Structure 1
Amino acid sequence: MYPFLRMSKEFWKFRNAPPLDIFDTHVSHHICWPWDLDMWLEMNNGRVLTLFDLGRLVLAGRTGFVRIIRREGWMLTVAGSSVRYRKRVRMFDRLRMTSRCVGWDEKFVYLEHAMWKGADCTSHVLIRMAVTDRNGLVRTDRVLAAFGRPMPAPRLPDWVRAWAEADALRPWPPMQDTPTQMQARAA
């Protein structure tokens, strides 16, 4: 179940926090609770993504983005992600999470989140986020104009561009062949 109480706590906790600019970093702190664990008694990989989601929502609130999407009747959706898990997170570990925008292209906004246990990064995710309305995708130039910040897309970091280019090569929809059909096609 989505942690609505945790989300409410995050919004309450940062309700009077200073606003952030588009490229500023939102920092939050979390604890790995027993209900965050998987059967190996470490934080479930899906829960990690959910906590990153909470960071993204508060970041959107602190930058004024939530106000703009509500005013325009837009919605936010995750359109892709790439995750690295590197260190285990155990019950009652205290974590620092960072969330920030790394740039955008004509269609998507790219955000990165990192989770830290002390000096060790436990996980990192790149999120490709889209703004949508009832007609589909809202282009980022229109979003920035509504934001009162019309500006050209900054040059994305090389690793973000490479990921976006590689992901564009991925077939969609994915193949639905059975292993036997794939072997027959390969022969």
Structure 2
Amino acid sequence: MFPFLRLAWNVVRAKRKPPLKVTDTCVTPMRVSLLDIDIFAEMNNGRFLTLMDIGRFEFSVRTGLWAHVRENNWGFVVAGSSVRYRKRLHAFQRFEMHSRVVGFDERWFYFQQNMQRGDTWHCSALLRTAVVEQGKLVPTARVLEAMGQADADGTIPPWVQAWVDAEAQREWPEQ
């Protein structure tokens, strides 16, 4: 089940925090709840991705994107992800999620989201995301212009481009 109350709480907190540029890192403090854990009392792998939704949502509120999403009846979509897990997070542990756009092209925003506790990185994900309108991608230039950040540097780092290229080689299953 999606943690709607947790999302609402994070939106309220995000509105009280200083605004961010699209190139800034959004740090979201969190705690592993009983609804996040599996039978081993550690955060479920799928829950990491669900909580990353909340981190990107806070990012959208603090960068001003959320206001334009509501105004234009836009939506969000994730079109690809690659996740690496390093260390377990256990019930009730506090951690921080670091969310940032590491680059963008004409169609996609590439997010890196990391979960950290102290000096230890627990999980890192790279996601290909977009803003959509009536089922079609909104060009990133239009999104950035709406946000007043049309001059943002979206240069895609080589490691992200390598992932994009590798994903392009992957075949879809036959139907």
Structure number, greater radius of gyration = 1
Deviation string for 1:109-150 (max 9, x for gaps)? 011110012111000111110111115111112222222333
3-state DSSP of counterpart to 1:171: coil
Moved more, 152-161 or 119-128: 152-161
Closer, same or farther: CA 152–119 of 1 in aligned 2, 3 Å:
closer
Q: Return the alpha-carbon distance in structure 1 between the equivalents of residues 95 and 24 of structure 2.
A: 20
Q: Return the alpha-carbon distance in structure 1 between the equivalents of residues 36 and 45 of structure 2.
A: 9
The TM-score normalised by the length of structure 1 is: 0.88
Q: Return the alpha-carbon distance in structure 2 between the equivalents of residues 135 and 2 of structure 1.
A: 22
Q: Across the two proteins, how many residue pairs are aligned to each other?
A: 175
Is 2:114 the partner of 1:114?
Answer: yes
Q: How does 1:2-41 map to 2 (within 5 A)?
A: 2-41=2-41
Q: Return the alpha-carbon distance in structure 2 between the equivalents of residues 147 and 88 of structure 1.
A: 37
Report the alpha carbon displacement of residue 153 of structure 1 after superposing the two structures with TM: 5.8
Structure 2 gaps, min length 5 = none
Q: Return the alpha-carbon distance in structure 1 between the equivalents of residues 44 and 56 of structure 2.
A: 19
Q: Return the alpha-carbon distance in structure 1 between the equivalents of residues 24 and 136 of structure 2.
A: 28
Structure 1 gaps, min length 5 = 177-187
Q: Where does residue 103 of structure 2 map in the other structure?
A: 103
3-state DSSP of counterpart to 1:78: strand
Report the alpha carbon displacement of residue 56 of structure 1 after superposing the two structures with TM: 0.4
Q: Return the alpha-carbon distance in structure 2 between the equivalents of residues 152 and 122 of structure 1.
A: 29
Q: Return the alpha-carbon distance in structure 2 between the equivalents of residues 150 and 3 of structure 1.
A: 33
The TM-score normalised by the length of structure 2 is: 0.94
Partner amino acid for 2:12?
W
Partner amino acid for 2:142?
R
Q: Return the alpha-carbon distance in structure 2 between the equivalents of residues 151 and 27 of structure 1.
A: 23
Aligned-pair identity in percent equals: 43
Partner amino acid for 2:133?
D
Kept in 2, the 8 Å contact 1:141–1:151? The answer is: no
Q: How does 1:1-187 map to 2 (within 5 A)?
A: 1-134=1-134, 136-151=136-151, 154-172=154-172, 174-175=173-174
Which structure would you say has the larger RCO, counting Cα contacts within 8 Å and 6 or more residues apart?
2
Deviation string for 1:70-122 (max 9, x for gaps)? 22221111111110000011111111111111110111001111001211100
Closer, same or farther: CA 106–47 of 1 in aligned 2, 3 Å:
same
Q: Return the alpha-carbon distance in structure 2 between the equivalents of residues 153 and 31 of structure 1.
A: 33
